[in-house]
């Protein structure tokens, strides 16, 4: 997706984002928590996965360190998401195959390595959190979602 796409031409036109990955356990959960904190009630924020599991405790801890309580977030299947409630899908897969779904909804791909990989530890989750936050700052500025 480029800036010339209609979604980016009207500031504030975006009202709903879905963060999508495979397990909905780390990257998409952190993106959901961070986006809710950054964009507030102006944007409906959801996350889901093609094979949902459970939220990784390191993801909850990394968000807590940033002042975000994600303890009530749950892992969800993309099959439970109504496409009519989504203006933009952001996929967060890197080494695995990103889920398809929600055909016709504009999509951005942020290839981020899974922090829950082989060398998993809280530091990898902090790095993923900070990279997602940086990308959300850019998206928010581009879409006129930040003040």
Catalytic member of 21, 23, 89, 128: 21
* Pair type for strands 44-49 and 88-91: unpaired
Is 93 known to be catalytic?
A: yes
Is 21 known to be catalytic?
A: yes
Strands (E), 22-126: 44-49, 88-91, 107-109
The tokens for 26 are 């780390």
Catalytic member of 26, 30, 93, 112: 93
Nearest to 87 by CA among 112, 111, 107, 66: 107
The tokens for 123 are 């530091």
3 neighbors 142 (Cβ within 8 angstroms):
yes
Is 65 known to be catalytic?
A: no
Please tell me what DSSP assigns to residue 113: -
Catalytic member of 7, 37, 98, 122: 98
Annotated catalytic sites, by residue? 21, 93, 98
């Amino acid at each position: 997706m480029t800036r010339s796409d209609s979604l980016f031409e009207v500031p504030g036109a975006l009202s709903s984002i879905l963060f999508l990955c495979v397990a909905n356990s780390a990257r998409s959960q952190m993106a959901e928590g961070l986006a809710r904190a950054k964009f507030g009630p102006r944007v409906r924020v959801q996350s889901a996965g093609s094979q949902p599991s459970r939220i990784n405790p390191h993801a909850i801890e990394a968000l807590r360190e940033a002042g975000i309580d994600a303890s009530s977030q749950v892992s969800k299947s993309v099959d439970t998401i109504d496409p009519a409630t989504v203006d933009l899908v952001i996929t967060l897969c890197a080494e695995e195959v990103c889920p398809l779904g929600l055909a016709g909804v504009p999509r951005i791909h942020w290839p981020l390595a899974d922090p829950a990989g082989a060398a998993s530890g809280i530091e990898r989750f902090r790095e993923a959190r900070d990279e997602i936050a940086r990308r959300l700052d850019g998206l928010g500025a581009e879409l006129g979602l930040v003040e």
